[in-house]
Amino acid sequence: MNSTCNNDAWNDFNDAEDQRDFALIPPKTLAKVVMTIRPGGYDDPSQGWTGGYATRSDKTNAVYLNGKFTILEGPFAKRVVFGLIGLYSPKGPDWTNMGRSFLRAILNSARGIHPSDQSPQAQTARRIRGFVDLDGIEFVARIDVEKDQNGDDKNVVKAAIQPDHKSYPGLMGAAPRAPAPSGGYGGAPAAAPTAATGGVPTRPAWAQ
């Protein structure tokens, strides 16, 4: 235990620092984030929902991924924003379709795939083995503001910035890639050979 600690520190709080009041991040702020999924323990193998990542609402029966987005760089580094990614809603397919579109954009952003690239390699890059592949993924997010259940403003992430956006290269640290020609490798070029690979080009694990 730190030898400088004493009983006064936990009996007298006059010398404690003022509570920090974080202002909202301005809407439409772009930032590189890492997404982690807060597991809800709900699985449905018939849908490919395994590993306990999905959450099912007791009130609405909706199923979603509970995303936690930590900003990695810039003036808001280390700030955390939350957002839900829809998997199923008993009200209809709209929430599911929005969730699938968001995840597609996340994969495009994280793996450098132009949204209009339909090459076989780009299609491979938009596939995952399961939600485990999304836990810890890094991409460029757009941070917005919406009302919470109490009517107060809160920051949320509902959109991913893809390589066709002019701000993508500077935020992601990678050059944007145009759609690959037929037979090209799309947004996932082989890595340059190194001594560690024995002079053999490598590809990301998801492209094997």
Confidence (pLDDT) at 21: 65
Q: pLDDT digits over 125-138, tens only? A: 999 999 999 999 99
The 8-class DSSP code of residue 81 comes to: E
Rounded Cα gap, residues 7 and 165, in angstroms? 55
Helices (H) and strands (E) in the chain, counts: 3, 7
Any residues with CB less than 8 A from the CB of 10 and at least 6 apart, and which? Answer: none
- 70-79, 95-104, 198-207: lowest mean pLDDT where? 198-207
CB 101, CB 122: distance < 8 Å: no
Query: What are the start-end ranges of the H helices in 30-119?
Result: 94-111
Domains of the chain by residue range: 23-172
What's the chain's Rg over C-alpha atoms?
21
Q: At 36, list the tokens.
A: 């982690």
Q: How confident is the model at residue 153 (pLDDT cuts 50, 70, 90)?
A: very high
Any residues with CB less than 8 A from the CB of 177 and at least 6 apart, and which? Answer: 112, 113, 114, 117, 163, 186, 187, 189
- What integer is the mean pLDDT of 164-183? 70
- Which letter, b or e, does each residue of 136-150 get, where b requires 16 or more Cβ atoms within 10 Å of its Cβ? ebbbbbbbbeeeeee
Mean pLDDT of all residues in the chain? 85
The DSSP bridge pattern shows strands 29-37 and 137-147 to be: antiparallel
Confidence (pLDDT) at 107: 97
Specify the 3-state DSSP secondary structure of 143. Answer: strand
Q: How confident is the model at residue 57 (pLDDT cuts 50, 70, 90)?
A: very high
Rounded Cα gap, residues 117 and 5, in angstroms? 59
Helix, strand and coil percent figures for the chain, each rounded to 5: 20, 30, 50
Q: Is the pLDDT of residue 207 over 70?
A: no
Q: How confident is the model at residue 174 (pLDDT cuts 50, 70, 90)?
A: low
Q: Is the pLDDT of residue 146 over 70?
A: yes
- 137 phi and psi angles, rounded to 5 deg: -75, 140
User: Whole-structure pTM over 0.85, yes or no?
Assistant: no
Confidence (pLDDT) at 14: 87
Confidence (pLDDT) at 111: 95
The 8-class DSSP code of residue 202 comes to: B
